[in-house]
Homo-oligomer: A and B are copies of this chain.
Amino acid sequence: MRPQILVTNDDGITAKGINCLVQAIKHLGDITVVAPDGPRSAQSNAITVHDPLRYWKQYEEPGVVAYRCNGTPSDCVKIGAHAVMKSQPDLLVSGINHGSNSSVNVIYSGTMGAAFDGCMMGITSIGLSLCSHDPDADFTEAVRLSVPIVERVLKEGLPKDVCLNVNFPDIPNIKGVRVARQCRGRWMERFVERVDPLGRPYLWLTGDFVNLEPDASDTDEAVIAAGYGAVTPCHIDVTDHAAMAQLSAYNYDTEKEV
């Protein structure tokens, strides 16, 4: 039986990135697309618990059936795996995202939110991103390097409880792929304050990314800057195990109170 592959993204079902991806990998298995009905960038692992979810068939072609959904990327994974597909998919691929999900962007990313969701459900999961927010970005190089990664993951699987965060530089000739760790970084955020036509103030979030490890060579940021795709194995255990011993003073027994 052909591999059953679930595809989603956070830019919405009409985005160029997801459609390039589907065309590039549809020879590898039966593709079910369940993607948001519009942009859901920066939705992280948000799921919809206070509102009903709906999905509609968007298109069908040989080997591909595609649905749009009114939820988040994580909702799309759950609907794909539990409502649309007849059995748990063999692989989840999320992307190709328009924009980087390296460093702390992985925390906000809806693309990676979907991959984490798949990972928690026991589905082999990959998030793919191109470091360009341009709706008309050129995905040729990202696709060229994504296909062998998807093939390898389909063939070999991934370590237990691990999913991949793959980020490609937006350059004409990507030099290859390197396994890399998540870079320490942060957004220096600010708000643009404006006034609407009724005189009410509102804010738009903006900011600049700062690499907090500019001299490291083994980070996703460094690898991308060097012209390579960065493959970062990710997990959903956010415990800082090293800090546990440092916090032993927090252990406390009520009965010892006087």
Q: Which residues of chain A have a CB within 8 Å of any CB of chain B? A: 39, 41-50, 52-55, 72, 74-75, 78-79, 82-83, 104, 106-108, 113, 116, 120-122, 145, 148-149, 152, 156, 158-159, 161-162, 173-179, 181-182, 184, 186-187, 189-191, 193-194, 196, 200-205, 231-244, 246-256
Contact = CB atoms under 8 A, between A and B. Distances in A.
A134 B181 CA distance: 41
A71 to B, nearest CB: 9
A148 B249 CA distance: 12
A98 to B, nearest CB: 13
Contacts of A239: 181-182, 232-235
A247 B240 CA distance: 23
Contacts of A252: 145, 148, 176-177
A122 to B, nearest CB: 7
Given A239-B181, A240-B234, A240-B235, A174 B254 contact: yes
Nearest to A113: B44
A251 B121 contact: no
Contacts of A193: 83
A108 B75 CA distance: 12
B246 A200 contact: no
Given A45-B108, A52-B202, A82-B190, 19 more contacts: A44-B74, A47-B205, A48-B205, A54-B203, A55-B203, A78-B205, A83-B193, A106-B238, A120-B187, A121-B186, A156-B249, A158-B243, A175-B255, A179-B250, A182-B238, A231-B247, A233-B244, A233-B247, A235-B238
A54 B201 contact: yes
A53 B204 contact: yes
B234 A238 contact: yes
Given A205-B75, A240-B159, A46 B42 contact: yes
Nearest to A180: B244
A49 B161 contact: no
Q: Which 4 A-B pairs have the closest CB atoms?
A: A52-B202, A233-B243, A44-B45, A44-B44
A1 B29 CA distance: 63
A174 B190 CA distance: 41
A41 B182 CA distance: 27
A258 to B, nearest CB: 14
